[in-house]
Structure 1
Amino acid sequence: MKDVNIGICGLGTVGGGTWEVLQRNARIIAGRAGCNLRVARVANRSPRPDLGLGDTPFSTDVHDVVNDPAIDIVVELIGGYDDARRLVLAAIEQGKHVVTANKALIAQHGNEIFDAAREKNVIVAYEAGVAGGIPVIKAIREGLAANRIQWLAGIINGTGNYILTEMRAGRDFDEVLKEAQELGYAEADPTFDVEGIDAAHKLTIMASAAFGVPLQFDRAYTEGIANITPYDITHAEALGYRVKHLGIARSREDGIELRVHPTLVPEKNLIAKVDGVLNAVLVDGDAVGQTMYYGPGAGDEATASAVIADLVDVARTVSTDSAQRVPYLGFESDAVTDHRILSPNEIRSAYYLRIQALDRPGVLAKVASIMSENGINIESIMQKESELHDGQIPVILLTHTVLEKQVNDAIAEMEALPEVEGRVVRIRAENFL
C-alpha cells in the first residue's frame, strides 16, 4: 500500500488530537484511504513529549514542514491570520495540498488562497474549520449538490450556546462567562465567541458553499450576546421561544442575507432544543427539504475527526494521481456568481421588542400607532401589572416579519416618546419549520 506523507504544523489541541487519532486508527484510516497516511514531519513552537512522537522529525519552525520535498499534504493547525496565510500560500506555491481547520483564515483570505490553489492544481480542504466534527461542508458541497439551497441557520459557536443555555436558569451573562472560561469553553479573551465573530467566519464559509458566491466576511452582519438578559430569556420562554445565538444565511431574489445575532426560536423547532456546547446546522434545499446536522462543534478529537476526513479525501487523490477535484466552494469557478450581500436594513425578520414605559393611559395606543404607521403588524403583546415598579412597566411585543428598516424607524420614534424610558430592546425571531 502506497504511503502519502503528511506534515502537521501546530500540535495544540486540534494538532495533538489529529496525531493521536492518526496513530490509534491507522489501520482503519488506511483501509478507507487506500493508502497509508504517514506523518513524516511535525512542527510546533515547543516540543510535545506527551504525544510520543518517537522518530518523527520535529521542528519549531513550521516552514521546515513546507520546505520538506517529501511532504505531500501540509496540515495547517497553527491558527491566526498572517502566519497561517503565509504558510498556506507557501505550501501551495510548492505544489503541496493543504488541509486546515482555520475558519478565520478561509473566511478572510479564502478567495486569494483558492485562486492560488487553482493555479497550482492542488486541493485546499477546510471541513474542520466549520462546526468541528460535524461534516456540514461535505453535506452542502456534495450530499446536497442536487439542491438549490434556500437558507441555512446554525448554532455554530458552542461557547455562546453554553452561556445562553445556563442563563435560562436566571444567571447573569458575566457569571456564566466566567464559568465558561474556568471550564475551558471560552478563551481568556472571549470576544470572538460572545460577539459573534467566530460564528460569522463559519457562516461566511457555509454561505459561499451553499450559494456559490465569493467569500465576503466583511459584509456579514454580526451582533453578540453580551446584552441579553435573564429577563428577556425568561419572557421569551413565556411566549414559547428559546433565545439562541444563530448564524443565518438566506438566498433572496434581491441578494443574500448574511447575519449572526441572538434569535428567538419557537421551542418546538429542533434547533431550539440544542443546548450546552453542542452545535447544530439546519439546511433547507428545494429538493430534499430541511436537514439538520448536529454534534460537537469543537474539541481535540472531534475536530481531528474532520481534519482526518479531509486528509483521507486528499490522500485518495494523491495516491491515485487522480485529476478529479471537488471545487473549493462546491461550484466550478465559472459558475460562481457575485450576488449582492444585503445590508442590515434589508434583512427581513420578525421581532421581539421590550419597551420600558411609564404606566400612563394611552401609552399602548401611541406604541400601536407608531407600529401601524411603519407598516408593522403586531402578533402578540405582553404587559404584566405585577411588574409595575417606580411607575414604569415593561411592554413586550412580538411582530410579524418585516424589513429591519421599518423596525429601526419605529424604535427611533418610540424612544422619542416622553413616556418611554431608555432604549428599546430588540431581538430578532425566526421560525424554522
Structure 2
Amino acid sequence: MFNPELENNTNIKVALIGFGNSARRLAELLIELEKEIICKYGVRIVCTAIATASHGKVVSGQGINLLSALEIIKSGQSLTQLKDIEIVADSFQAIDKSKADIVVETTLLSLENGEPAYSHIKKALLAGKHVVTANKGPLAFAAGELQELAKIQERALRYESTVMDGTPIFNLAKYTLPLVKFKRIRGIVNSTTNFILTEMESGGDFASALKEAQRRGIAEADASLDIDGWDAAVKATVLANCLMNAKLKPTDVFRKGISNIKPEEVLAAVKAGKKIRLVIDIERINSEVQAKVLPIEIAKEDIFYNIDAFSNILALETDLMGTLMIVEQEPTLTQTAYGLLSDLLSIIEEYKVKYFNMLANKMLIFLFDFWVDNISPTSRIIC
C-alpha cells in the first residue's frame, strides 16, 4: 500500500496536531531549512493543518503560511485570522481535511489513558497517513497495538522525540543494533528534577530552582509530573515497551519523586562525595520486565555523577554490544524539534526508496515477461 501523495509529488503535506513549544520550533526549522530540504530530498514540506488547544484549528489545501501562524500565536491571537484557510471544529476534522501525508502529533501528555494523542495517531494510521509523535502517552499505553496497526497499514510510526528529546535512541536500536537484546536500561531522563537537585547542591533552594526551570521553558507551570516522578515513569514505560517488548503501563512502574528530599540530604550527599539523582532502572528479570524510578545516591566512579543541570543520560546494557552510554548535554527545544524533523525526513526518504524499488521490480518483471514472450518462447516453463 503506497501513498501517491508522498511518492509522486514534490510537495509533502504535513498536519501539525498540537502547536506547543516543540511544534512551533519544528515550524521554525521547516522555514529555516526549507532550501536544504528541497535540495537534498527533492521535496517541499507544506503544512496543510494546524490544530491547537486554544488558538483555533485550521486547514488549507494550498498550505498554511507557517511564519504568519507563528506570529499570530506569539501575539496571542487565533489562527482563524490566517488567509486562505478553512476553520474546523476539532483535531479529528483537521486530520481528515488536511489530506496530509504525515501527521505530527504533539498534544499534551495524559497519564490516564494517553488521550487524545492515542486516538489522533490511530485515526491517522487508519486513514493511511504516516505518523511522527513526541507524545509519550500513546506509546506508554498502547505501543504494541499502534506499532501493529502501522505495520498492517504499511505506514510509519516514528517517536524519536518521546525520550531525551531528539537524541537517537529508538532509531539507533532499529537501524544499527539488529538482533541486539536489551537486558537493562538505566538513565537520568528528567531535566527539571536534575536541574533542581544540581542547584540544591550549591545551596540553592527547591522553589527557586523550579521557578528558574519554568522560566527557561523546561518545566511546565504545573511541574508535578516532573517532581513526583511521573514523567520519568512514563519514559521508562516507553523504553521498556519499545526496546524490551514489555507491556507495561506507567502505573506498573515503582515511582518515588523528589518532592520530599530535604536540602540537608542533598548537601550531606555532596559532603560524602556523592550526588542525588532521579534515576530510572528497567531490567528483565527472568521473563519479566520490571521498572522503577527513584532518587538514589550516585558515587563519583559512576558516569551518572557527571550529569548535571538539564543534561540526560541513558545506559543501555545489551547482550552483544556490552553497555552503551548515550549522553545529551544541556538540551533545548531545538533538539526536540529536530527529533521530529529527523523522523519526518527519514519517512520521506524511506518511502520514496520503497516506491522506486517497487517501480524497478515492476520493470524487471515486465522485461522478463517480454523476453519470455517475444525473444525466447522455448524457454517458457509449463507447470
TM-score using structure 2 length: 0.76
Corresponding residue for residue 45 of structure 2: 37
Matched, 1:230 2:249: no
Query: Structure 1 pair 214/298, CA: closer, same or farther in 2 (3 Å)?
Result: farther
Q: Which has the higher helix share?
A: 2
For residue 17 of structure 2, the aligned residue among 9, 17, 29 is 9
Q: How far did residue 32 of structure 1 move?
A: 4.9
Corresponding residue for residue 404 of structure 1: none
Q: How far did residue 56 of structure 1 move?
A: 7.6
Are 2:315 and 2:324, in contact at CA under 8 Å, matched by a contact in 1? yes
Distance 1:169 1:141 in 2: 40
Distance 2:87 2:200 in 1: 45
Corresponding residue for residue 46 of structure 1: 55
Q: State the secondary structure of the residue aligned to 1:224.
A: coil
Q: How far did residue 160 of structure 1 move?
A: 0.6
Q: How does 1:170-185 map to 2 (within 5 A)?
A: 170-185=203-218
Distance 2:83 2:320 in 1: 51
TM-score using structure 1 length: 0.68
Are 1:41 and 1:56, in contact at CA under 8 Å, matched by a contact in 2? no
For residue 285 of structure 2, the aligned residue among 246, 252, 273 is 252
Are 2:49 and 2:95, in contact at CA under 8 Å, matched by a contact in 1? no
Letter in 1 for 2:103: V
For residue 23 of structure 1, the aligned residue among 31, 52, 56 is 31
Letter in 2 for 1:7: A
Residue-by-residue CA offset, 1:332-355 (whole Å, 9 max, x unaligned):
xxxxxxxxxxxxxxxxxxxxxxxx
Query: Structure 1 pair 52/180, CA: closer, same or farther in 2 (3 Å)?
Result: closer
Are 1:40 and 1:57, in contact at CA under 8 Å, matched by a contact in 2? no
Q: How far did residue 307 of structure 1 move?
A: 0.3
Are 1:35 and 1:319, in contact at CA under 8 Å, matched by a contact in 2? no
Deviation larger for 141-150 or 128-137: 141-150
Distance 1:104 1:41 in 2: 22
Distance 2:321 2:41 in 1: 29
Residue-by-residue CA offset, 1:253-311 (whole Å, 9 max, x unaligned):
25323111102121232221111112221212233222222226764322110001111
Are 2:181 and 2:319, in contact at CA under 8 Å, matched by a contact in 1? yes
Distance 2:92 2:218 in 1: 31
Corresponding residue for residue 295 of structure 1: 328
Distance 2:285 2:42 in 1: 43
For residue 92 of structure 2, the aligned residue among 63, 73, 89 is 63
Residue-by-residue CA offset, 1:381-425 (whole Å, 9 max, x unaligned):
xxxxxxxxxxxxxxxxxxxxxxxxxxxxxxxxxxxxxxxxxxxxx
Identity between Structure 1 and Structure 2 (%): 26
For residue 136 of structure 2, the aligned residue among 91, 97, 103 is 103
Q: State the secondary structure of the residue aligned to 2:14.
A: strand
Distance 1:56 1:91 in 2: 24
Q: How does 1:241-280 map to 2 (within 5 A)?
A: 241-253=274-286, 255-280=288-313
Are 2:246 and 2:289, in contact at CA under 8 Å, matched by a contact in 1? no
Are 1:154 and 1:279, in contact at CA under 8 Å, matched by a contact in 2? yes
Q: State the secondary structure of the residue aligned to 1:67.
A: helix
Distance 2:343 2:84 in 1: 22
Letter in 2 for 1:290: T
Distance 1:285 1:123 in 2: 26
For residue 317 of structure 1, the aligned residue among 350, 354, 357 is 350
Q: How does 1:190-229 map to 2 (within 5 A)?
A: 190-229=223-262
Q: How far did residue 312 of structure 1 move?
A: 1.1
Query: Structure 1 pair 145/297, CA: closer, same or farther in 2 (3 Å)?
Result: farther
Q: How far did residue 321 of structure 1 move?
A: 4.3
Distance 1:176 1:209 in 2: 33
Q: How far did residue 221 of structure 1 move?
A: 1.1
Are 2:136 and 2:235, in contact at CA under 8 Å, matched by a contact in 1? yes
Distance 2:343 2:123 in 1: 20
Q: How far did residue 69 of structure 1 move?
A: 6.2
Corresponding residue for residue 78 of structure 1: 107
Q: How far did residue 179 of structure 1 move?
A: 3.6
Distance 1:68 1:106 in 2: 25
Q: How does 1:337-376 map to 2 (within 5 A)?
A: none
Structure 2: segments with no counterpart, 5+ residues: 1-8, 57-65, 73-81, 358-383
Distance 2:167 2:352 in 1: 26
Q: State the secondary structure of the residue aligned to 2:97.
A: coil
Distance 1:288 1:279 in 2: 21
Q: How far did residue 30 of structure 1 move?
A: 4.1
Q: CA RMSD in A?
A: 2.7
Q: State the secondary structure of the residue aligned to 1:213.
A: coil
Q: How does 1:160-175 map to 2 (within 5 A)?
A: 160-175=193-208
Corresponding residue for residue 186 of structure 1: 219
How many correspondences in the alignment?
324
Matched, 1:92 2:111: no
Deviation larger for 281-290 or 49-58: 49-58
